[in-house]
Amino acid sequence: MKRFLTRLAQEKYLYLLLLPGLLYFVIYRYLPMAGIGIAFQDYSPFLGFDRSPWVGMKHFQNLFNSPDVLQAIWNTLVISFLQIIFAFPAPIVLALMLNELRNQTYKRVVQSVVYLPHFLSWVVVVGIVVIFFRNDGIINDILRVYFGVEQPIRFLTDPGFFRPFIVAEVIWKEVGWGTIIFLAALAGVDPHLYEAARIDGASRWQQMWHVTLPAIRSTIVILFILRLGSVLDTGFEQIWLQLNAFNMEVGNVLDTYVYYKGIQQSDYSFSTAVGLFKGLVGLVLVMAANRIAQRYGEGVY
């Protein structure tokens, strides 16, 4: 303990830099876990935690017996796996493309441009999408003027466009920010490996496949494991801003369902049970993916 206090005094400024992140996790991640018990109660704010009756697994049974919850789980899984298939590899592909650029000025300009959308809120991003794709928006005007489409395409109300929009927005907003980690990993690749590959006659594509990708494989695996932990978390704000009566069947995910059930209908116990279920599923997926990765020489120990 004395050794720790001595080190704390010597490196107090480094620990002060750590403090905001630590407080975030303590306040918003760990302290709310004290309320997990209401998932096993018929909780009433007027009775409080102590006097609300305990009902055991009642809410979890309702969770799996409710058609609305099962539909929300299905919608969540579909959107999440679409993001894993299309949005997760996008930063890797972009980082590999940027890494191949030899003009450093052009490379920095492209990096800056693709980073910028990350700093926009989802309200702004969805607002841009609405302006462009509404019935009298720019896209429908272009289709009418240049392609002869007389009737406007209802992009915002047609359920078939909802999931592609969600995935495309995530890619546009986050692909640049995601490349930071992969570009940092690429910066650590030994240049002598490329020289040896060129001496052996490897083309640029072969160098990328046999040198670059293996060098960042561990980074990809770790980020993939972390992504699996949030497979039931598709992002409340983005989806909630685009939900309407026409796309509710394909767009109502667990996050929005918990909002409607827990906030609007004041069913706090049921919504807490759904949240606890999400957390347990994420924990199981992370542990399983990490175990598989360790078997093949990767993973977090």
Count Cα atoms within 13 angstroms, Cβ side, for 143.
16
Instruction: Supply the DSSP symbol for 153.
Output: P
One of 1.10.3720.10, 2.40.340.10, 2.40.37.10, 1.10.10.60 is the CATH number of 87-177, namely 1.10.3720.10
Residue 78: the pLDDT is 94
Please, are residues 227 and 84 in contact by the beta-carbon 8 Å criterion? yes
Two tokens at 125?
């991003």
State pLDDT tens for residues 189-209: 888 888 888 888 888 888 888
Count CB atoms within 10 A of the CB of residue 25: 10
Residue 264: the pLDDT is 82
Residues linked to residue 54 through DSSP beta bridges, in sequence order:
41
Residue 34: the pLDDT is 82
Two tokens at 211?
């040198």
Please, are residues 54 and 40 in contact by the beta-carbon 8 Å criterion? yes
End-to-end Cα separation, the chain, in angstroms? 26
Residue 161: the pLDDT is 94
What predicted TM-score, i.e. pTM, was given to this entire model? 0.85
Residue 85: the pLDDT is 93
Residue 52: the pLDDT is 87
Ordered alpha helix ranges (H), 116-216: 122-133, 138-147, 159-187, 191-199, 204-207, 213-215
Handedness of CA 43, 49, 52, 53 (dihedral sign): positive
Domain ranges of the chain: 87-177, 234-301
Please, are residues 182 and 93 in contact by the beta-carbon 8 Å criterion? no
Mean pLDDT by 10 residues, the chain (301 residues): 80 87 89 86 85 87 85 92 93 89 86 90 94 92 88 91 94 91 85 85 85 86 84 87 91 89 84 85 84 68 52
Residues linked to residue 41 through DSSP beta bridges, in sequence order:
54
Residue 170: the pLDDT is 94
From the list 152, 156, 298, 282, the residue with the least C-alpha distance to 226 is 282
State pLDDT tens for residues 238-251: 999 999 989 999 99
Residue 132: the pLDDT is 94
Two tokens at 30?
């760990």
Count CB atoms within 10 A of the CB of residue 72: 24
